[in-house]
Structure 1
């Protein structure tokens, strides 16, 4: 049995490279999702490996999101809809496909961040489809619906 050595993905240093990696990853995984051919599946797997796989995709996504404060945008939207307001309790937010900890670090929000391939210890590595119904848990143990869901660049 031979040992397969996979090179580490190149460090993402430019927006152009990051966009290329994320675009290719989505294009390939979309093909993979729709194919029933084992040959096409193997071809997609090889293409994913060639671009660095999920690790390169995560790195590219982190690079892209570091350039834009998505948490500020989310907070503005929550304020505009009256969910985040002075005098109101902090809203409970579920972030699906969390690529960074920006929302976790946003003052005034209670955030639960999930990702299938978490790259940070504060982001739960979990499929949100496996969550029990009902939302966040109160201190009493009762469930409470989330006030907002954030789902950016997550495949639905």
Structure 2
């Protein structure tokens, strides 16, 4: 359990979701893809805990288990296939459907896509976004190799972004405290005001955060529900603009107001929905 009394540096994202890789020719079934991702996610969470505590014996044993399951290569294959078009995994299509149709063309709107796996998703193919893509270990041209938590904060408004995409990224951060810090950090990368020329309809949508999570993270957790998530986001300065719930995922578009709650709330690991069938997904915000 996280000790919220002391300031802790969140574990690097490299201990959470493993990096992307080029898609192998072999294809996994949907069930095999899902099981492999869940297994690696659990193991990497334990590995992150052991690494943080300096328990090298446990960390070494977990690394061996990961390799026995195919290592990062098998995880990467499952991750990329799970987000491929034939699996319905391009979440950016939802974002494009939400946005007004009269947005300016010519790659005017600056997007930062964290955890990018492809340069060919719907947002990249549109004529709307100027996309900066980053991932922990990019192996594709057009995706910068970088940890978002270590990316330098832009010093001037012109270098910031109109929208940040965190699609299936926050759930791979291994620590609840790290998830809160990631959400807080997004505020530093968004413009204070939209760029002139967007049109009046765009002011409802930008600057913003596109957040996608597995539905159980919000709908079936002991420590988080949508009411609590909304309170966290409002504290940071966000307000919900759009939401879509599918059988597997929940999509949000949060507009950044530029100023959070006047009262600084703390969100700890408090049980809000007891139950043996619920998961332990949690966001801690100090």
RMSD (Å), alpha carbons:
2.6
Q: Does 1:70 pair with 2:70?
A: no
Contact 1:99/1:119, CA 8 A, preserved across alignment: no
Structure 1 residue 52 displacement after superposition: 2.0
Structure 1 residue 123 displacement after superposition: 1.2
Q: Does 1:52 pair with 2:67?
A: no
Say which SS state the counterpart of residue 134 (structure 1) adopts. Answer: coil
1:28/1:20 CA distance change after superposition, 3 Å: same
After superposing on structure 2, the runs of 4+ consecutive aligned residues of structure 1 that deviate more than 3 Å are 9-12
Say which SS state the counterpart of residue 104 (structure 1) adopts. Answer: helix
Contact 1:104/1:113, CA 8 A, preserved across alignment: no
The runs of 5 or more residues in structure 2 that have no matched partner are 1-23, 174-178, 180-286
Say which SS state the counterpart of residue 131 (structure 2) adopts. Answer: strand
5 Å-filtered alignment, 1:16-95, equals 16-35=31-50, 36=53, 37-66=55-84, 67-68=87-88, 69-77=90-98, 79=99, 85-87=102-104, 90-95=108-113
Partner of residue 133 from structure 2, selected from 90, 113, 126: 113
